[in-house]
Amino acid sequence: MAGFFSRLKAGLTKTRDQFVSRIEGVLTGRRKIDEELYEELEEILISADVGVHTSLELVESLRTEVKKRKLQEAEELKEVLKELIVDLLGTETKGINFADKGPTIILVVGVNGVGKTTTIGKLAHAFCTEGKKVLLAAGDTFRAAAIDQLEVWGQRAGVDVIKQKEGADPAAVAYDAVQAARSRGVDIVLMDTAGRLHNKVNLMEELRKIKRVINREIPDAPHEVLLVLDATTGQNALQQAKLFQEVAGVTGIVLTKLDGTAKGGVVLGIQGEVEIPVKWIGVGEGMGDLRPFVPQEFADALFNSENEEEESL
């Protein structure tokens, strides 16, 4: 069975075609580095959902490096651009901030339809595989389907789900989950939340109340607020990141559905514009297709480079 790097590489094929292949097409066989070339690169970056601000900054950094290194050939720019992208992504894999003692409480936020509940199920599976005891909390009480779906994922991952009836106070579910986690010796609580955006004030108040209840029971909790974003939505994902950063105090991002989209460049926009670390990425439907985000691995897969440390599953 192919390792995760192979699946990541395959999943980024459309992004690579939209992004790297177009850059190579502009640079190959072209000798002169001029203003027209920089404008074309800028256009490619923006159309690959990197974001206007980040695209302009990358091209400006490229200009600086060209002058500093006294580069003459256009084809030399590909490697420089890859270096700049790796710098933007960072070299360090940002892991989950686990509690020093007692249960680690992780709030999972995001709009409806991005795969939030599915992501919670996959995270539960990943943590269980590491030997952690996990509990799920059905905090999206406004949709009966959300509670039912979380129970299905709980069964798949082999973990219990704390729930109340539809329409219940999500903060009450959070309280029950914390108490259950303590009494059962649970390591990690993953709590689903509502994804309604039509009233930002209500969403903000709801999340504040949940966090207040959790923090009253466990100081310094929640330990993580993970935002789930759908990579196929491109710039919309970037806008969602900005909004949830404002209302929820997001500490990390889970980027789903990177496979089969040409909009994987949004990873760069997120890092460049909202500066929230991407902590996990998804490249498929399987339980094992959600993995911690490794910046160098992503850059290698994007630029079709070899990865000697590929691990077989």
Per-residue confidence (pLDDT) for residue 310, from 0 to 100:
45
Dist. CA 158–CA 96, nearest whole Å = 21
Q: How far apart are CA 264 and CA 258, in angstroms?
A: 6
Rounded CA separation 39/50 (Å): 15
Residues 246-304 have pLDDT tens digits of 888 899 999 999 887 888 889 999 888 888 899 999 988 888 889 999 988 898 888 87
- Residue 197: the pLDDT is 66
Q: What is the pLDDT of residue 313?
A: 39
CATH code of the region 104-302 = 3.40.50.300
Whether the predicted pLDDT of 29 surpasses 80: no
Task: Answer yes or no: is pLDDT of 309 > 50.
Answer: no
List pLDDT tens digits, range 180-194: 999 999 999 999 998
- pLDDT value, residue 216: 96
In the sheet where 160-162 sits, what is the strand order? 160-162, 134-137, 188-192, 104-109, 224-230, 252-256, 278-282, 290-292
Beta pairing, strands 104-109 & 224-230? parallel
Instruction: Name the least confident of 114-128, 151-165, 198-212.
Output: 198-212
pTM for this model (two decimals): 0.90
Contact 55, 14 (CB under 8 A): no
pLDDT on residue 103: 97
- pLDDT: is 168 or 89 the higher one? 168
Each domain of the chain, given as residue ranges in start order, spans: 4-89, 104-302
Confidence of residue 199 (pLDDT cuts 50, 70, 90): low
One fold for 4-89 and 104-302: no
CATH 1.20.120.140 fits 4-89, yes or no: yes
Residue 79 in tokens = 């490697």
pLDDT the model gives residue 221: 95
Mean pLDDT, rounded, of the chain: 89
